[in-house]
Amino acid sequence: MAEVKLIGKLPSPFVYRVIWALKIKGIPYEFIEEDLTNKNPLLKYNPVHKKVPVLLHGEKTVCESMIIVEYIDETWQQNSLLPNDPYERALARFWVKFAEDKVVSVWRMFGAIGEELEKTMKETEEMLQTVEEHGLGEKKFFGGDNIGIADIAFGSVIYWLEVIEEAVGVRVISEAHKFPRLHAWIKNFKQVPIIQESLPDWDWMVAFCKGRREAVLASA
Amino acid sequence: MANEVVLLDLKVSPFAARVRIALEEKGIKYESREEDLSNKSSVLLKMNPVHQQIPVLIHNGRPICESMIIVQYIDEVWNHKSPLLPSDPYRRAHARFWADYIDKKIYPIGRNLWASKGEIKESSKKDLIECFKILERELGDKPYFGGETFGYVDLALVPFYSFFYTFETLGNLSMVAECPKLVEWGEKCLEKESVSNTLSDQQKVYEAILQIKKELGVE
């Protein structure tokens, strides 16, 4: 079986999506920490976007976190991350795309202050309201009884949002009464053994976020 | 079992065009309902409450949204002919990567080109040409992005062929000069009935864009 290598940089939430998929499938892999200040190796593996994560599977290179996750799901069929039914698959992909397209406000919160921060918080709240109202229904996970690609896509976003809120000193997702379904979902998500054992340490993450935010604001 | 297929549609939309081409490739009979985006139908609002956008495919009463997600759904349900995605996982990842690239770049940058002025317009023009050249390199010497047959990436990009006249006229550029292979590829795609029956006339797209510019108050 060809070797699997993941090029990434912790604690990138995009890299974690791939780590979770690999661990759920029980695929052994080598993690190669990418030095993002020296992008030369990345230029070889991801010349178009020059970003992590990049999955190397033997001679093959796959880029873009959720494309990598679908590749993993299709190549290794155990512990399926997508339902079998085409309609359910379309729904899962819909929420993955939503997680990709609409969560930019979360990352922008990280480096924002004043009016810009207010704006990104409002956008994030609207995004969360949409997911709360339309995304989960009565299911335990987006994937049903077990986590699937939409849970993986959102999982990194929501955990990182909680960290960012703690680091920035604001409350959006933390307003649990506004998002009962999402809160139940986050609780369940974090209790999945694979997720529990691979989530980065909370205190470390908050300290990391605070440090990075200070650096970003200082250079602004 | 009844197989009712309805498409909430918009003739000039490149995203809706992707779905119409896919449906024709598969020989699927469907009802097209043209939406007026300034006065969205209650069906559209009900079937796509999250984005309230076309295209929406309604198959036996159930909605599927987002053009390339609809295309994958069509490919999986009507898998008896004209496969749109390859069967090999690596080639599928490769196809998804390039469709994703097209989605992230062509429409938003193109829109900046025709909806802006001055510096934003100029830098959008540069970026757009650069993106098309990257796509041209990916096409290489293959007849289609999919290789010997028309596929997922071709489908993702070909509706934007209808926008070439708009990009050229409003951006003051020549697609034939900048990306001759891409123009050639577009013409080859048009030899397919599913594409030629679907693609909007370049002049019609240009007029639609001019109308949008007017509504936005951009000269």
Q: For chain A, which residues make up each domain, given as ranges?
A: 4-75, 86-219
pLDDT in tens, B18-37: 999 999 999 999 999 999 99
Predicted local distance difference test score (pLDDT) of residue A38: 66
Binned at pLDDT 50, 70 and 90, residue A2 comes out as: confident
Predicted local distance difference test score (pLDDT) of residue B2: 66
Question: Is residue B55 reached through a cis peptide bond, with omega within 30 degrees of 0 on the bond before it?
Answer: yes
Chain B nearest-CA distance from A42, in A, is 16
pTM over 0.90: yes
Fold of domain A4-75? Glutaredoxin (3.40.30)
The yes/no answer on whether domain A86-219 falls in CATH 1.20.1050.10 is: yes
Predicted local distance difference test score (pLDDT) of residue A103: 83
**Window 185-214 of A, Cβ < 8 Å to B:** none
Higher model confidence: residue A216 or residue B106?
Answer: B106
- What share of chain B in percent tops pLDDT 90? 90
Cβ contact A67–B96 (<8 Å): yes
Residues from chain A contacting residue B97 (CB–CB below 8 Å) = 62-64, 67
Chain B nearest-CA distance from A47, in A, is 10
Q: Collapsing DSSP states into helix, strand and coil, what is residue A55?
A: strand
Cβ contact A98–B93 (<8 Å): no
CB atoms within 10 A of CB B44: 20
How far separated are the first and last CA of chain B, in Å rounded?
A: 53
- What share of chain B in percent tops pLDDT 70? 99
Q: What is the mean pLDDT of residues B140-164?
A: 96
| H/E stretch holding A61 | strand A60-63
Chain B nearest-CA distance from A10, in A, is 23
Nearest to A62 among B59, B93, B134 (CB): B93
pLDDT in tens, B92-131: 999 999 999 999 999 999 999 989 889 999 999 999 999 9
Nearest to B77 among A74, A86, A130 (CB): A86
Interface test with B, best of A25, A57, A59, A74 (most B CBs within 10 A): A74
Residues from chain A contacting residue B46 (CB–CB below 8 Å) = none
pLDDT in tens, B40-60: 999 999 999 999 999 999 999
For residue A42, pLDDT beyond 80: no
Closest residue in chain B to residue A84, using alpha carbons only: B76
Cβ contact B64–A90 (<8 Å): yes
Cβ contact B93–A90 (<8 Å): no
What is the strand order of the sheet A54-57 is part of? A30-33, A4-8, A54-57, A60-63
Cβ contact B50–A130 (<8 Å): yes
Residues from chain A contacting residue B93 (CB–CB below 8 Å) = 62, 67-68, 70-71
State the residue for tokens 């955990």: A159
For residue B1, pLDDT beyond 60: no
Nearest to B66 among A71, A97, A130 (CB): A97
Predicted local distance difference test score (pLDDT) of residue A41: 62
**Window 137-176 of B, Cβ < 8 Å to A:** none
- Hey, what long-range contacts does B204-212 have (CB within 8 A, 24 or more apart)? B204/B11, B204/B12, B205/B12, B205/B162, B205/B163, B205/B165, B205/B166, B206/B165, B206/B166, B206/B169, B208/B12, B209/B114, B209/B163, B209/B166, B209/B170, B212/B115
Q: Please state, in angstroms and rounded to a whole number, the distance separating the CA atoms of residues A159 and A150.
A: 14
